Amino acid sequence: MLARHAEDMFWAGRYLERAEDTARMVRATLLSTVAESPAQAIDRMQNLIRTLRLEVPTPTEDVETMAEQLAPSPPMLRSESGLGIDVQVAATRLVASPALAGSVAFCIGRTRENFRSLRDQIPSELWEQINEFHLRLRQDDFPAAMEHDPFQTLDFIRVSCQSLTGVISSSMAQGEGYRFLVLGQMLERALMTCRLVSVRYPELDGSSYDEMALTLRSVSALEAYQRASQSSPLGSDVARFLMVDGSFPRSVLYCLRSSENHVEALAANGRPPPLRRLAQLRSELEYADFDTMVGDLPRHLSALESGVRDVAILVGNHFFRNAESFDLHSQAIMPGVSS
């Protein structure tokens, strides 16, 4: 297939995944703040924003200084009072501000734009679905809906993303384009899970059930985890589950295995650099002694995260190297991806 189309597929997959993951994390965070003090809630929200690798404004009394600090990026997460962040406002913006790079509305807009240049490659059903979803997110009353009924709105987003994924797996020919799309999804998902664990792990040390439930819920893993492990969870057990469980589709290991399969099929013959790097990352994770690893988890996670980013770059160089448009998808567009 055309290198440019392959690249657009890959990025459509990444943006779509990021939108869904963001919505899940926002939902879990809001859910856990329901019964908490405002200060705790703000803490949690900042935690989430860090997980998403977005700018966290430093709380300050001086509104002007803060506006200056935020000048290069849109001052989207700043509360109106100027005092740190307002949980509700931040959540609404993370979901409904198309101008905030990384918000759900932004990511779905990008997904649609990529699909738009793939109109001849994707089933009409998929195009209609993304188009309708995008238009709903851009309606004037959408931010208000998010503010008034965040849980219902977030459920709507999750269901819309899932039905897109459903259309992709049920009506798209599973050729090259499909593989690049799923590869994008899997790499993005691996990154998001890594980040979640690295941000949440310190909180898990105290091992209160609520903290663990929030972490697991952020990737919709609570039920799967409870089924897999009936013992009362320890922080390291949660981290182990999210990183190396072989059957949970949001664990880092699962995402790496799936990515490896797709790259292997795409490579047709030989072992191109992205495949070698992926296999290396995957086997390091798979055969590592997790109990040793957990002793130095932050370092391992950051190595893993940068490894996944390497893979994305190698995929670009190897498969899209003929596309002059590579620099159009400036890495700065995707928050947290800048190297």
Partner 1 sequence: MSGPPPGFFDEAVDEHGQTRDHYRPVQEWFDRLTLEQVKALEEQRNESFRRQGITFTVYGGDEGTERTWPMDLFPRIIDAEEWSMLERGLIQRVTALNRFLDDIYAGEQAILHDGIVPRRLITSCTGFEREAMNVAVPLGARCLVAGIDLVRDADGAYRVLEDNLRNPSGISYVIENRAAMTKLLPAAFSDLAVRSVDHYGRSLLRALRSIAPPACGDDPTVVVLTPGIFNSAYFEHAFLARSMGAELVEGRDLVVDDHMVAMRTTRGLERVDVIYRRIDDAFLDPVVFNPSSTLGVPGLMAAARAGTVSVANSVGNGVGDDKAVYAYVPDMIRYYLGEETIIPNADTYLLWEEDQRAEVLKRLDQLVVKPVAESGGYGIVIGPRATDAELAEAREKILADPRNWIAQEVVNLSRLPAWSGDGFAPRHIDLRPFVLSGEQVEVIPGGLTRVALREGSLIVNSSQGGGSKDTWVLGNSDQLDQAAAS
Position 286 contacts partner 1 (CB under 8 A): no
Q: Are 79 and 59 in contact (CB under 8 A)?
A: no
Report if residue 171 touches partner 1, rule: CB under 8 A.
Answer: no
Q: Are 33 and 46 in contact (CB under 8 A)?
A: no
Give, in order, the Cα–Cα distances in Å from 49 to each of 5, 45, 55: 32, 6, 7
Q: How would you label 223-243 residue by residue, b for 16+ Cβ within 10 Å and e otherwise?
A: ebbeeeeeeebebbbbbbbbb
117 binds partner 1 (CB under 8 A): yes
Applying CB under 8 A, does 37 fall inside the site for partner 1?
no
Lay out the site mask for partner 1 across 178-217 (x = CB under 8 A, - = otherwise): --x-------------------------------------
How long, in residues, is the chain? 339
131 makes contact with partner 1 (CB under 8 A) = yes
Residues 6 or more apart from 306 whose CB is under 8 A from it?
339
Q: Using the rule CB under 8 A, is 320 a contact of partner 1?
A: yes
Tell which one of 124, 231, 232, 339 touches partner 1 (CB under 8 A).
124
Helix 124-137 with 104-116: angle, nearest 10 deg: 150
- Binder among 60, 65, 322, 330 for partner 1 (CB under 8 A): 322
What residues from 257 to 276 belong to the interface with partner 1 (CB under 8 A)? 266, 268
> Smallest distance, Å, CB 313 to partner 1?
16
Residues forming contacts to partner 1 in the complex (CB under 8 A) are 1-6, 113, 116-117, 119-121, 124, 127-128, 131-132, 135, 176, 180, 266, 268, 319-320, 322-325
